[in-house]
């Protein structure tokens, strides 16, 4: 029996996988003069060609978004809601194909990771369509009325990474559109295909120029960040690139929202029922091949349980299969790209060179063609080691021992990053006390990775600037405009 799932194609477009990938600009699907290879990380082979847009094509997309802004921003929430709901319906019709394409270009397991990502993204579009930022009355007295309006910014430029190519893009697009902005998306060069397809789908339901999707190499990013007609950049990616974005945005005083790197700590407290939470901790670290911004990247456990914890954690990890994400038995797919794979090998070399204790994994099969990296657990490396200090963004996890909770909190906070974190303990109140002391934008207590359109999400320190989701996030797609009316 063939172990590889073949998901039925249910979209109206039966050639979803065969027809060329095209840019969507000004409501039209257009090719580029050049193209580039998109690699399937499970095979290391070329999956498809993506259009490598020219700077002129990106300018055209921005110009069309600027023109479209006039009509789109004037529509009002109800009409924009209708458009976004039709967009969610159209995405839903293509859902199975998008899921499969996501696994093919990104590597993540189809049923357990790709399907939830696409479903969540569609649900976000549908839910955000209903959100509003109404006019607020700031003062109303005998002499005057003061209103605070949340007015759209104009054209928003989105720059997205390769770990969640569908979700991270649509959770920028949807709030930007509902608040009245138009959008130009530049997906990463590593995983542009799903974005090109949902861009194509958008052209069937949205007015021309409201959402353009323009793929190309890294050089397009600076064109977007430097363009005078882009009012805001919504960026998710590495901290280093985020710094380039801020610098480029300065010239035209663009708004920026940056969701950057992290080195999230999970702290298991001495009273935690650790046998039961090990699966959650495992998937919190190794889900999506460890390639998520808020993945657990350092796991702190108390000395009292440390030995048994590591044994049970490793035993659980051994039950998880690494392989092609199309195989339904696979829990951890390949690393997304060669660059990241090499970076992870650098971590492994450092771990070995420093004689650190690898209790699981650590051996790479160099003969394989896909970018499969073994689930690797390092037991109690020193706090100043590379694997603890830097963001690994892949399936290597350090488990660290602590003697008292104050020490665990101090070590967790001793980082340039401050994205997420989690605390695990039986006494919820005590766990919340610890959570309150973590320097992070988002801390989960006895759960992990719950998110929704109404939960604000953002990083502190070098993990980010601004917020996504929630009214806080949606407001960042608007300017506050105060109107003072004399009575
Ligand atoms: P990674 O190195 O993991 O790919 P990056 O932060 O470099 O992460 O990439 C995230 C996104 O930023 C991608 O879409 C990429 O093309 C884009 N990008 C890269 N360099 C720049 C830049 N200088 N300005 C704007 N965007 C950029």
79 among known catalytic residues: no
Strand partners, 401: 301
**Catalytically annotated residue among 63, 189, 200, 293:** 293
Over range 256-283, report the average pLDDT.
98
- Can you give the pLDDT at residue 5? 36
Distance 238 CA to ligand 1 centre (A): 7
Q: Whose CA is nearest to atom 2 of ligand 1?
A: 238
Ligand 1 atom closest to the Cα of residue 233 is: 25
Predicted confidence band of residue 6 (pLDDT cuts 50, 70, 90): very low
Question: Is residue 226 lining ligand 1, measured as CB closer than 6 Å?
Answer: no
* Residues 126/84, Cβ–Cβ less than 8 Å: yes
Q: For residues 476 and 368, what is the distance between their CA atoms, to the nearest angstrom?
A: 45
Least confident of 5-14, 170-179, 230-239: 5-14
Q: What is the dihedral of CA 367, 368, 371, 373, to 10 degrees?
A: -80
CA–centroid distance, 244 to ligand 1, in Å, is 9
Q: Which atom of ligand 1 is nearest to the CA of 187?
A: 14
How far apart are the CA of 114 and the centre of ligand 1, in A?
22
Asked whether 464 and 259 are in contact (CB, 8 A), the reply is yes
What is the per-residue pLDDT across 406-464, written as a single tens digit (0 to 9) for each? 999 999 999 999 999 999 999 999 999 999 999 999 999 999 999 999 999 999 999 99
Confidence of residue 183 (pLDDT cuts 50, 70, 90): very high
Query: What is the best residue among 58, 162, 190, 221 to mutate for testing ligand 1's pocket, by most ligand atoms within 8 Å of CB?
Result: 221
Instruction: List, for residues 124-161, the tens digit of each pLDDT value.
Output: 999 999 999 999 999 999 999 999 999 999 999 999 99
**What distance in angstroms lies between residue 219's CA and the mean position of ligand 1's atoms?**
9
Q: Where are the domains of the chain?
A: 14-260+463-486, 265-452
Is the CB–ligand 1 distance for residue 238 below 6 Å? yes
When pLDDT is cut at 50, 70 and 90, the band that residue 37 belongs to is very high
First to last CA, the chain: 79
At residue 469, the pLDDT reads 97
Cα(34) to ligand 1 centroid in Å equals: 20
Distance (Å) from CA 43 to ligand 1 centroid: 24
Locate the ligand 1 atom nearest the alpha carbon of residue 159 and give its number: 14
Instruction: Judge if the beta carbon of residue 241 lies within 6 A of ligand 1.
Output: yes
pTM of the model: 0.96
> Which of 50, 188, 462 for a ligand 1 pocket mutation test, highest count of atoms within 8 Å of Cβ?
188
Give the Cα separation of 24 and 12 in Å (integer): 19
Q: Whose CA is nearest to atom 19 of ligand 1?
A: 218
Chain mean pLDDT for the chain: 96
**Radius of gyration in angstroms for the set of CA atoms belonging to the chain, rounded to a whole number:** 23
Whether 245 lines ligand 1, by a CB cut-off of 6 Å, is yes
Q: Distance between CA 264 and CA 439 in Å, rounded?
A: 10
When pLDDT is averaged across residues 5-14 and rounded to a whole number, the result is 47
Instruction: Pick the atom of ligand 1 nearest to 237's CA.
Output: 6
Report whether pLDDT(47) > 80.
yes
Kindly tell me if the per-residue pLDDT of 50 is higher than 70: yes
Atom from ligand 1 closest to the CA of residue 162:
4
The structural architecture, per CATH, of the domain 265-452 is: 3-Layer(aba) Sandwich (3.40)
Q: Is 276 exposed, middle or buried (0-12, 13-18, 19+ CB in 10 A)?
A: exposed
Tell whether the model's pLDDT for residue 233 goes beyond 70. yes
Q: Given this model, what pLDDT does residue 9 score?
A: 41
Give distance in angstroms: CA of 214 to centre of ligand 1.
Answer: 14
The pLDDT assigned to 2 comes to 34
- What's residue 13's pLDDT? 58
14-260+463-486 maps to which CATH number?
3.40.605.10
pLDDT mean over 192-219: 97
Q: Judge whether 211 and 29 are in contact, CB under 8 Å.
A: no
Q: Is 78 a catalytic residue?
A: no
Degrees to nearest 5, angle at CA 105 with 186 and 17 = 95
Coil vs helix vs strand at 11: coil
The model's pLDDT over 325-357, given as tens digits with 9 standing for 90+, comes to: 999 999 999 999 999 999 999 999 999 999 999
Ligand 1 atom closest to Cα of 393?
3
The model's pLDDT over 87-133, given as tens digits with 9 standing for 90+, comes to: 999 999 999 999 999 999 999 999 999 999 999 999 999 999 999 99
Q: Give the per-residue pLDDT at 8.
A: 43
% residues pLDDT > 70 (the chain):
97
Whether 106 contacts 41, CB under 8 Å: yes
Q: Which of 259, 390, 391, 468 is flagged as catalytic?
A: 259
* Cα 241 to ligand 1 centre (Å): 6
User: Sorting pLDDT into bands at 50, 70 and 90, what band is 14?
Assistant: low
């Amino acid at each position: 029996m063939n172990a590889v799932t073949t998901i039925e194609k249910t979209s109206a477009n039966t050639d979803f996988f065969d027809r060329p990938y095209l840019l969507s600009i000004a409501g039209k699907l257009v090719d580029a003069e050049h193209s580039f290879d998109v690699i399937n990380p499970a095979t290391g082979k070329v999956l498809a060609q993506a259009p490598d847009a020219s700077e002129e094509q990106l300018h055209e997309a921005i110009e069309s978004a600027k023109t479209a802004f006039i009509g789109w921003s004037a529509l009002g929430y109800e009409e924009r809601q209708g458009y976004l709901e039709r967009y969610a319906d159209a995405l839903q019709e293509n859902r199975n194909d998008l899921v499969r394409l996501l696994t093919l270009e990104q590597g993540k397991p189809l049923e357990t990771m790709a399907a939830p990502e696409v479903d969540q993204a569609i649900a976000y579009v549908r839910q955000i369509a209903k959100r509003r930022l109404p006019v607020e009355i700031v003062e109303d007295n005998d002499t005057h009325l003061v209103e605070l309006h949340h007015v759209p910014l104009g054209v928003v430029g989105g720059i997205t990474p390769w770990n969640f190519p569908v979700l991270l893009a649509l959770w920028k697009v949807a709030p930007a559109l509902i608040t009245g902005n138009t959008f130009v998306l530049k997906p990463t060069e590593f995983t542009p295909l799903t974005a090109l397809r949902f861009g194509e789908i958008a052209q069937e339901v949205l007015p021309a120029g409201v959402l353009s999707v323009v793929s190309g190499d890294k050089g397009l990013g600076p064109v977007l960040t430097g363009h005078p007609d882009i009012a805001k950049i919504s960026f998710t990616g590495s901290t280093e690139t985020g710094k380039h974005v801020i610098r480029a945005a300065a010239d035209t005083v663009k708004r920026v929202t940056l969701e950057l790197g992290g080195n999230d700590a999970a702290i298991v407290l001495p009273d935690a029922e650790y046998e039961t939470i090990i699966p959650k901790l495992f998937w919190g670290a190794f889900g999506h091949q460890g390639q998520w911004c808020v993945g657990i990247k350092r796991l702190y456990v108390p000395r009292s349980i440390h030995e048994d914890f590591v044994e049970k954690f490793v035993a659980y990890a051994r039950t998880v299969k690494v392989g092609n994400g199309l195989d339904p038995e696979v829990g951890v797919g390949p690393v997304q790209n060669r660059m990241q794979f090499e970076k992870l090998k650098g971590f492994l070399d450092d771990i070995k060179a420093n004689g650190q204790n690898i209790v699981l994994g650590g051996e790479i099969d160099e003969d394989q063609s896909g970018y499969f990296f073994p689930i690797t657990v390092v037991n109690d490396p020193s706090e100043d080691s590379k694997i603890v200090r830097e963001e690994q963004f892949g399936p290597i996890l350090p488990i660290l021992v602590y003697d008292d909770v104050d020490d665990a909190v101090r070590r967790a906070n001793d980082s340039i990053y401050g994205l997420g974190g989690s605390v695990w303990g039986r006494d919820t109140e005590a766990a919340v006390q610890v959570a309150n002391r973590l320097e992070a934008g988002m801390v989960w207590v006895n759960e992990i990775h719950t998110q929704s359109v109404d939960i604000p999400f953002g990083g502190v320190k070098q993990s980010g600037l601004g917020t996504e989701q929630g009214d806080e996030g949606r407001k960042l797609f608007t300017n506050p405009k105060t109107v003072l009316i004399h009575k």
